[in-house]
Amino acid sequence: MDIITRESLKRWLTTLMDRYQVMAPVLAEGNHLFRAISSTDEIAWDYYNSVVPPKELIFPLTESLFTLEYQNGVPQIQEPVIDRQTVIFGLRPCDARAIAMLDASFMNDPVDVPYARRRALVTLVGWACVRPESPCFCVNIGGAPNGTQGLDVLMTEGTDGYFVEPVTEKGKAVLEGAELKHTDAVPPEPAALPAFSTEGLTERLPEVFLSPMWQQQVEACISCKICTFLCPTCYCFDVRDRRDGEAVERMRCWDSCQGAHFSKIAGGYNPRATKTARWKQFFYHKYLYYPERFGGVIACVGCARCVRKCPVNIDIREVIQDLKEDISA
């Protein structure tokens, strides 16, 4: 395996900035977030994980789909230009795996062109988690703190620098010019996480759809959108117009199934009028609907952002445990 010293790594990133826009975790007023950097000094080298997942770099909170303007009375549609080569540096394997899950949905026919355009320009250089901590649970849901799925390059911090593992051709290309040295050492193994099993959950979810358990689980929910907006695999959006005189811009913005109006149709009928129904939608989408559509993969990567940030401590791990008891009872 190859290794790169921390100094060489910084030099490599600095030279990358000529060709690529480099996004990395930074500390913004006490919050770790992915932002474009102009110097490697801005990188939060000691971060655990970002508050907002790096999905926001490929699937922005708000993006323009097109503008429509009238030229001599003739309507003209223009799409925004997306042409910036970008390296996302330092994302965690769970978030990279989540991006692979977004790919499955957005790249599925018909291809979501705005997403695909961005995605094609992005190279993902990940950092393995050497010291993952509970409530993270990637290992219990098909991932690993040093997993490579979705990544182009995986780096693992060792004592003498970073172990570098190119995963894809794109990854090899981005590493060109990096001062890599061969080493016989092996990357450190990540610390163990508490284990629990999600086996058989998807198959049995349909049986418990009407269980009263859901209402109890979600009783404290305040219907905010933290769990969905901070979820690296959530990708619901809203499409809205903005008018300026005769010109119109159509944009899409993140939206969340937790909002009361999410599924309400004009005329007032709301198929998911209760917070229990809405939270169930969140859970079922991850653990049943997505897997049914995309080859059995559960759309949760165990990053535990929803667990850490839920204002009222609704703990998805606990829900899974309770469900198993409910199913077996």
Residues 258-277 that bind another protein (CB under 8 A): 259, 261-267, 269, 271
Under the criterion CB under 8 A, does residue 240 sit at the interface with another protein? yes
Q: Say which residue the tokens 């910036």 belong to.
A: 84
Phi and psi for 291 in degrees, rounded to 5? Answer: -55, -40
Distance in angstroms (rounded) separating the CA atoms of residues 258 and 1: 45
141: nearest Cα among 10, 302, 7: 302
**How far, in Å, are 6, 34, 185, 223, 316 from residue 160 at the CA level?**
8, 26, 10, 47, 38
Tell me the window of 4-12, 174-182, 185-193, 256-264 that interacts with another protein (CB under 8 A): 256-264
Under the criterion CB under 8 A, does residue 243 sit at the interface with another protein? yes
Give the interface size with another protein as a residue count (CB under 8 A).
107
Tell me the window of 56-64, 140-148, 166-174, 178-186 that interacts with another protein (CB under 8 A): 56-64
Taking CB under 8 A as the rule, which mask of x and - marks residues 75-94 in contact with another protein?
Answer: xxxxxxxxxx-x--------
Minimum Å gap between C-beta 4 and another protein is 26
Phi and psi for 232 in degrees, rounded to 5? Answer: -70, -15
Minimum Å gap between C-beta 315 and another protein is 4
Number of neighbours of residue 92 by Cβ within 10 angstroms: 30
Closest to another protein by CB, 157 or 238 = 238
Minimum Å gap between C-beta 30 and another protein is 5
DSSP category for residue 46: T
Contact predicate 115/59, CB 8 Å: yes
Taking each helix axis from N to C end, the angle separating 93-106 and 113-120, rounded to the nearest 10 degrees, works out to: 140
Burial of 311 (0-12, 13-18, 19+ CB in 10 A): exposed
Tell me the window of 39-47, 58-66, 137-145, 188-196 that interacts with another protein (CB under 8 A): 58-66
Under the criterion CB under 8 A, does residue 191 sit at the interface with another protein? no
Under the criterion CB under 8 A, does residue 68 sit at the interface with another protein? yes
| Sign for the pseudo-dihedral over CA of 57, 105, 226, 287 | negative
Site for another protein in 140-179 (CB under 8 A): none
H or E element at residue 113: helix 113-120
Minimum Å gap between C-beta 34 and another protein is 8
Minimum Å gap between C-beta 117 and another protein is 7
Under the criterion CB under 8 A, does residue 237 sit at the interface with another protein? yes
| One residue of 17, 51, 100, 327 binding another protein per CB under 8 A | 51
H or E element at residue 88: strand 86-91
Taking CB under 8 A as the rule, which mask of x and - marks residues 21-50 in contact with another protein?
Answer: x-x----xxxx-x--x--------------
Contact predicate 278/258, CB 8 Å: yes
Minimum Å gap between C-beta 147 and another protein is 23
Under the criterion CB under 8 A, does residue 61 sit at the interface with another protein? yes
Under the criterion CB under 8 A, does residue 295 sit at the interface with another protein? no
